[in-house]
């Protein structure tokens, strides 16, 4: 694993190190032994501004993609990106995920116009979505030709827990230690230490 990384040699080293493991999750401990963690052979890395730290884990089928004018994707120490998750930047968007945060399978983190920042120690359940942009809705113009807009991106604080299928939209801040229940659609900011549920998400009590 000392050769593991984004280069062809690094990808080959990860593939060899992962042989014999029963599942993608079974390879998580391997990530602790390389300078840039573990990258699954089936992960699609189409991003020339991806920054990895020690003990990062990128699982099977993960897609990290940079569109035109997209900004960097930065993953801090011990960030886990599990199976079939997409990280996508374009048109000035950036993604930063801080240390010890785990993104479970089939999430989408798509950053255009505004940045997406997810803090330390967060637990993000499967099928969550983060979108730091919106499309215009000017009459007489086809949707595909509408301008993208942003209200400042998305900021998720430290030690936040998002349940299954939570959607976080542009312009939202979620405070430290907040919990958002499964299936919630977060359209406005949630204070720290609060529990929010529903569509649109609303605070129901403090932790």
pLDDT of residue 58: 95
Whether 135 is catalytic is yes
Per-residue pLDDT tens digits for 75-125 = 999 999 999 999 999 998 999 999 999 999 999 999 999 999 999 999 999
Query: 182 lies in a domain?
Result: yes
Question: What is the pLDDT of the chain when averaged over all its residues?
Answer: 92
Query: 107 lies in a domain?
Result: yes
Per-residue pLDDT tens digits for 34-46 = 788 899 999 999 9
Looking up residue 106, the CATH number of its domain turns out to be 2.160.10.10
Catalytic residue, candidates 51, 82, 102, 135: 135
Query: 51 lies in a domain?
Result: yes
pTM exceeds 0.85 for this model: yes
HEC sequence for the chain = CCCCCCCHHHHHHHHHHHCCCCCCHHHHHHHHHCCCCEECCCCEEECCCEECCCCCEECCCCEEEECCCCCCEEECCCCEECCCCEEEEECCCCEEECCCCEECCCCEEEEECCCEEECCCCEECCCCEEECCEECCCCCCCHHHCCEECCCCEEECCCCEECCCCEEECCCEECCCCEECCCCEECCCECCCEEEECCCCEEEEEC
Query: 187 lies in a domain?
Result: yes
Structural domain containing residue 152: 8-206
Query: 1 lies in a domain?
Result: no
Query: 142 lies in a domain?
Result: yes
Domain count within the chain:
1
Predicted confidence band of residue 12 (pLDDT cuts 50, 70, 90): confident
Query: 23 lies in a domain?
Result: yes
Query: 3 lies in a domain?
Result: no
């Amino acid at each position: 694993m000392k050769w593991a990384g984004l280069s062809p040699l690094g990808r080959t080293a990860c593939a060899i190190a992962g042989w014999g493991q029963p599942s993608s999750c079974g390879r998580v401990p391997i990530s602790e032994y390389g300078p840039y963690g573990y990258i699954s052979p089936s992960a699609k890395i189409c991003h020339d501004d991806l920054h990895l730290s020690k003990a990062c884990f990128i699982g099977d089928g993960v897609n990290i993609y940079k569109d035109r004018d997209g900004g960097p994707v930065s993953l801090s120490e011990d960030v886990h990106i599990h199976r079939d998750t997409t990280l996508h930047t374009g048109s000035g968007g950036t993604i930063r995920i801080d240390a010890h945060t785990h993104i479970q399978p089939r999430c989408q983190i798509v950053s255009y116009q505004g940045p997406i920042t997810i803090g330390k120690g967060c637990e993000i359940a499967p099928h969550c979505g983060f979108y730091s942009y919106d499309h215009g809705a000017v009459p007489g113009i086809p949707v595909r030709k509408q301008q993208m807009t942003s209200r400042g991106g998305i900021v998720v604080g430290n030690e936040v827990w998002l349940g299954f299928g939570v959607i976080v939209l542009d312009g939202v801040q979620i405070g430290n230690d907040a919990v958002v229940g499964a299936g919630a659609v977060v359209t406005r900011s949630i204070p720290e230490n609060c529990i929010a549920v529903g569509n649109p998400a609303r605070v129901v009590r403090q932790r």
